Amino acid sequence: MTTVASAAPGASTVSWHHRHLIDVDVVSWPEIELIMRTTEEMKGILARPIRKVPALNGRRVTTLFYEASTRTRVSFETAARNLSADVVSIATATSSVTKGESLVDTIRTLEALGAEILVMRHSVSGAPYLAAEIFGGHVLNGGDGWHAHPTQALLDLYTMREHVPGGDLRGRKVAIVGDILHSRVARSNIWTLTAAGAELWLCGPATLLRGMDRWAGAWSGGAIPGHGRFNVTSDIDAAVRDADVVMGLRIQRERMQGGLLPSLREYAAMFQLNAERVSLAKPDAIVMHPGPMNEGVEIAPDVAISGRSVITDQVANGVAVRMALLYLLAGSHEPAHAEAAL
Ligand code: NCD
């Protein structure tokens, strides 16, 4: 188990015992705080002239991405290299997957080739659970279908805490606007933000909110202990008004069967985060987006680069969060390794 002492004097220490990280739904709030503190330490390393530490020296991190990615894959690989791990990167477009190899065979092959931590992205929701059943090492989910994107939610949480005075999200209003239906980012953010005590609003056209009312009902009925309720609306002004955080999500056309949106132009007219809508938020509100952005659709270009935008902070924090998670997972079953030098 990896134990990291809290920075706050007298605060308790929490142990990390998860072998895999497939979603944040199994991570308790004290464990989320452990991840946040470990990320803080990793940010300290990233501020040094030499950003490399030996914590994962000789360990093998393999990235297996069945879906397109720029920032998530590069971020994981940068994080692993900063911890001195050996990194093997599989792009499925050039692997035996194109010859019909199954996920199970691919994972067995990678394990035989020495993979210890497998970072994977897959278009099928739940694929990492199958991987975790057959893989002897650690599985880290880099996004599966519509289901989950735990490292994105954790880097979003870290970035929000950095910008909200006191780092406390309790009672802070967070509006997530866009294609909620297809968004694994939104689904993981629901877990972390309702655990953090934020007042969460999910907003989009009714066709892109399908099923969310049922989720919201379960949350507000107290079925999920430790998680506050959240709101679902198609009224963008109500969602954004007085928000502390406004997050845009990409319209995921590649996941749409058709018929969910009249046109992108109409979507932009009604839901785009433009300067006028964002001005309804608090004066010091921040604007976020997990990327990749379709500027001019879900977000106006001037808003994306405005002084309120922390979108590049999200990308930079992603490396530190992923360093923290690789470090915690690698140490989770090897007590000797837990003391590895940072
Ligand atoms: C997101 C993803 O892949 O889920 N991007 C990311 O990882 N930063 C969001 C998206 O694709 O729109």
Low-confidence ranges of the chain (pLDDT < 50): 1, 3-11, 335-339
User: Which tokens is 115 given?
Assistant: 């993979």
pLDDT in tens, 101-116: 889 999 999 999 999 9
Amino acid at 159: T
Bridge partners for 87 per DSSP:
61
User: Is 150 a pocket residue for ligand 1 (Cβ < 6 Å)?
Assistant: no
Residue in 72, 176, 184, 185 to alter for ligand 1 test, most ligand atoms within 8 A of Cβ: 185
Amino acid at 171: G
Map out the domains of the chain with their CATH numbers: 16-149+316-330 (3.40.50.1370), 151-314 (3.40.50.1370)
Which CA distances in Å does 118 have to 56, 59, 235, 332, 336? 14, 11, 41, 15, 21
Which CA distances in Å does 282 have to 164, 204, 244? 12, 20, 6
Other CB atoms within 10 Å distance of the CB of residue 96: 13
pLDDT in tens, 64-121: 999 989 899 999 999 999 999 999 999 887 777 777 788 999 999 999 999 999 999 9
User: Is 141 a pocket residue for ligand 1 (Cβ < 6 Å)?
Assistant: no
Residue in 65, 66, 70, 72 to alter for ligand 1 test, most ligand atoms within 8 A of Cβ: 72
CA 292–ligand 1 middle distance (angstroms): 6
Check residue 261 and give its pLDDT: 84
CA 171–ligand 1 middle distance (angstroms): 27
What's the whole-model pTM score? 0.93
CA 166–ligand 1 middle distance (angstroms): 28
SS3 content of the chain, % helix, strand, coil (to 5): 45, 15, 40
